[in-house]
Amino acid sequence: MLMMEITATFEFESEEARIRTIYASLKNEQDEGIDRKRSSVALDLEGTTLRLALSGDDLIGLRAAANTWLRLAKVADEMVQVVKECGSRGS
């Protein structure tokens, strides 16, 4: 049976403070949270660009990982916006 690694890379760009907060949220999940039985993730932050690289041994596992990590990135981005909006109301 032929084994191959399947990869997917996503890049997100935003203002530096926002992308750093999203990176920190995802980094915490990478280090402590998500089970890595069928896939792996690599995070890289360069200036205002966050790179999320996923790899896995099978397409189904990679798709599941992509769904999870993209959802986490979306939630982190939404929370940054909520906190920003709440902070501007308190001023």
| Chain-centroid distance, C-alpha 8 | 12
pTM of the shown model: 0.84
From residue 85, alpha-carbon distances to 21, 43, 70, 90 in Å are 15, 27, 23, 9
DSSP for residue 41 = E
Domain boundaries, the chain: 6-85
Q: What confidence tens digit (pLDDT) does each residue in 6-45 have?
A: 999 999 999 999 999 999 999 998 877 666 677 899 999 9
Q: Does residue 51 sit in helix, strand or coil?
A: strand
Please give the CATH architecture assigned to the domain spanning 6-85: 2-Layer Sandwich (3.30)
DSSP for residue 32 = I
Could you tell me the sign of the dihedral formed by the alpha carbons of 59, 64, 65, 70, in that order? positive
Q: What is the distance between the alpha carbons of residues 29 and 87, in angstroms, rounded to a whole number?
A: 25
Q: What confidence tens digit (pLDDT) does each residue in 32-88 have?
A: 766 667 789 999 999 999 999 999 989 998 999 999 999 999 999 999 999 988 987
